[in-house]
Amino acid sequence: MTKYPALFEPLQIKNLVIRNRFLSTSHAPAFGANGVITDRYVAYHAEKAKGGVGLTQFGGATTVGPENSCYYGQVDGSSDDVIEGYTRMAAAVHEHGAACTVQLTHGGRRERWDIANWTPTYSASCRRELIHGSFPVAMEDHDIRRTTEDYAAAARRVRDGGVDGVEISCQAGTLIEQFWSPAMNFRDDSYGGSLENRMRYGLEVLTAVRAAVGDDFVVGIRMPGDEMMKGGLTQDDCTAIAATCAENGLIDFISVVGGQAATLKDEAKIWPTMWVPSAAYLNLAKAVRDKVDIPIFHATRIADVATAEHAVREGYLDMVGMTRAFLADPHHVNKLKSDREAEIRPCVGMGYCVDRVISGHDAVCAHNVATGRERYLPHQIGRSEGPAKRVVVVGGGPGGLEAARVSAARGHKVTLFEAASELGGQMVLAAKATWRRDAAGIAAWLTDELNRLEVDVRLNSYAEARDVVAETPDVVVVATGGLPNVGFFGGGDLAVTTWDVLSGACALGEDVLVFDEQGTHSGLSCAEFIASKGANVEIVTPERSLGRELGGTSLGAHMNEIYRHGATVTPDTRLTALARSGNRLTATLTNIYNDEVREREVDQVVGESGTLPNEELYFELKPRSRNLGEVDLRRMSNFERQVIETNLDGAFFLFRIGDAWASRNIHAAMLDAMRVCKDL
């Protein structure tokens, strides 16, 4: 008997039987190529099906018309060419017993006119959105007719491709929602004004879609339960829309989200990181479910199975979206079924996956480097067919922990040295910074895995070369991380690091300048931490804006906290010198464009310029190694085993990874570890 009976109950929608209530909701991981479904994309969803998910909704934001651009890697559903890709995807998912649907989307004003066919963008009204910045055409009658026909034709292609159903996007500020919302629709014709009029276009689209696919095919919508937007749709408006669509028999399910996506802060709410509490919008799903008699889907940061079971059992929803949980571990469901819940790699809400997509990159998980790389990297590590090796890992940050985990899972004898009293490295500090505390979950899971795999972990052990050599290793992985760098300016020794602040190694001043030229979480989290303690904080950066390395969900959260705590932001400026001035410090700030110089007197300066490699041990060990520390980058890039052996007198193979190699991030460190260790 499963511990979670509600989640393993099948659900029938028309003729479609879904084997359980686990749902991977519609999203676009940017694994397509020029609008075409690739082998990478198929493997990504097939892995979730293999891992036990009931329904995986692929093709998030699949386009329907020529004015739609696949600007963040979506599928192009506007021609019959897409049917072959649908067929391959459906077959791969069905092979493992899961069901699948495609989401169709017209972005409306959430498009760019200068990416694909250089046509204008279209919307209910000519109102510019901050995120995409285009000025849309207010749609005429022929535009309404054309796009309605495009939706219907695109839905027919989904059915022709053997997919189980179609979901029409009416959320995230896309076209149908642009008609629905009084904050985006300012028309004075039959498609504007009253809620009934504003609903007209969406109902016409759904009517055309139903006619194209037939009454026996599953059709659903994804919509907000509340736009959470000044002048936008209220919760009552949204439940009324949902009831109308369901009463008309046009749809078979409703997937409910919270918010929309018109600003960075809105993005941080609709696709939330750990900044938003877990399962924050369950009540929105319940409000819709109470008004309709069709199944309700819902996602939005439901990452743990206890919450998911509660949501289904207590009638909040019928299918529970755990999309990012399945990015973190696509075998989540099967591990539950086989009583291996403790082995599930958790989603901690880093938001790295979504941020990469909305920044124009592909979706990868912050701490599961196999996600999206299923053709090359294993989600389940197999044991080596060769003899067991002795592997020494130095450093217990994310890279070192992953190296130890993978090596031990391969069947090798692993010893890990860590100088600190706990594992986690920089993740320990990140978890001390305001809303990012859940980052500690990455280190906690990896630590548990090392315990399960019986890795010899030696805390409070500052490993020197003689300590490593004494273990007679076959392989040494140097994951000693980096040393904090305040930046390169005169008087840098007077500045403190973000590590000093978050670890409590230094007292906080009342008037603090944070110089951030890294553009990631570190400087912003530290600034928020200091400001939350009541200090006056100015953040200075040479960039034109803060957080250049972050996507909207993280940056929106950071900016909200920065302004909420009264911090000020000075862009386009570099800290060029720092000097003592009595009991205070004088910071010399130089505008990088006009070279204008100003001086700022403060109590404290925090410098954040990434890290410099902690590489002393590596260079001590290098002459004793068989590969002299060299890595074949081409083979690494192709996920192939390392074979360089240039010093036959060497005692071991030596690799350095993560920040010990170069200042990057958690994902990069763990990817280094996986690529080096998976073939040992």
pLDDT in tens, 221-236: 999 999 999 999 999 9
Residue 41 near residue 31 (C-beta atoms within 8 A): yes
List strands edge to edge, sheet with 573-581. Answer: 573-581, 584-591, 597-602
Decide if 376 is inside a domain: no
Choose one of 609, 637, 663: the last residue of a domain: 609
Residue 622 near residue 492 (C-beta atoms within 8 A): no
CA distance 153 to 8: 35
Decide if 567 is inside a domain: yes
Q: At what angle do helices 282-289 and 235-247 cross, to 10 degrees?
A: 40
Residue 229 near residue 129 (C-beta atoms within 8 A): no
The answer for residues whose C-beta is within 8 angstroms of residue 44's C-beta and 6 or more apart is: 29, 31, 371, 372, 374
CA distance 219 to 232: 26
Tokens of 76: 């192009």
Residue 430 near residue 525 (C-beta atoms within 8 A): yes
Decide if 6 is inside a domain: no
Amino acid at 457: V
If asked whether residues 574 and 446 sit together in one domain, one would say: no
First-last CA distance in the chain:
39
pLDDT score, position 117: 87
If asked whether residues 410 and 553 sit together in one domain, one would say: no
CA distance 36 to 21: 29
DSSP letters spanning 94-125:
HHTT-EEEEEEE--TTSS-TTTSS----EESS
Q: How many domains does the chain have?
A: 3
If asked whether residues 18 and 141 sit together in one domain, one would say: yes
If asked whether residues 209 and 343 sit together in one domain, one would say: yes
Give the pLDDT confidence of 402-456 residue by residue, as tens digits: 999 999 999 999 999 999 999 999 998 888 888 888 999 999 999 999 999 999 9
Choose one of 316, 337, 358: the last residue of a domain: 358
If asked whether residues 75 and 159 sit together in one domain, one would say: yes
CA distance 672 to 658: 7
Q: Are strands 55-63 and 22-24 parallel, antiparallel or unpaired?
A: parallel
CA distance 454 to 441: 20
Residue 276's SS3 state is coil
pLDDT score, position 432: 83
In 31-164, which ranges are E strands?
Answer: 55-63, 99-105, 122-123, 137-138
CA distance 347 to 344: 9
Q: Are strands 482-484 and 611-613 parallel, antiparallel or unpaired?
A: antiparallel
The reported pTM is 0.96
Decide if 556 is inside a domain: yes
Phi and psi torsions of 254, nearest 5°: -130, 125
If asked whether residues 137 and 231 sit together in one domain, one would say: yes
If asked whether residues 185 and 118 sit together in one domain, one would say: yes
Residue 77: give its domain's CATH number.
3.20.20.70
If asked whether residues 305 and 350 sit together in one domain, one would say: yes
Residue 503: give its domain's CATH number.
3.50.50.60
Choose one of 609, 637, 654: the last residue of a domain: 609
CA distance 468 to 679: 22
If asked whether residues 271 and 132 sit together in one domain, one would say: yes
% of the chain exceeding 90 in pLDDT: 95
In 106-239, which ranges are E strands?
Answer: 122-123, 137-138, 165-169, 218-224
Decide if 16 is inside a domain: yes
Q: Which residue has the tokens 């990478």?
A: 40
If asked whether residues 493 and 479 sit together in one domain, one would say: no
Residue 455: give its domain's CATH number.
3.40.50.720
Q: Report how far Cα 191 is from the mean position of its chain's Cα atoms.
A: 36
Which own/partner pairs from 467-470 qualify as long-range (CB within 8 Å, at least 24 positions apart)?
A: 467/417, 468/392, 468/394, 468/417, 468/617, 468/621, 469/621, 469/624, 469/651
In which domain, by residue range, is 208 found?
11-358
The candidate with the shortest Cα–Cα distance to 27, out of 353, 308, 375, is: 353
Tokens of 68: 């739609």
If asked whether residues 644 and 599 sit together in one domain, one would say: no
Which residues in 259-280 are b (16+ Cβ under 10 Å) and which e?
bbbbbbbbbbbbbbbbbbeebe
Decide if 461 is inside a domain: yes
Decide if 121 is inside a domain: yes
pLDDT lower than 70: segments of the chain? 1
Phi and psi torsions of 422, nearest 5°: -145, 160
Side-chain-facing half-sphere of 358: CA atoms under 13 Å: 26
Decide if 258 is inside a domain: yes
Amino acid at 322: M
If asked whether residues 628 and 500 sit together in one domain, one would say: no
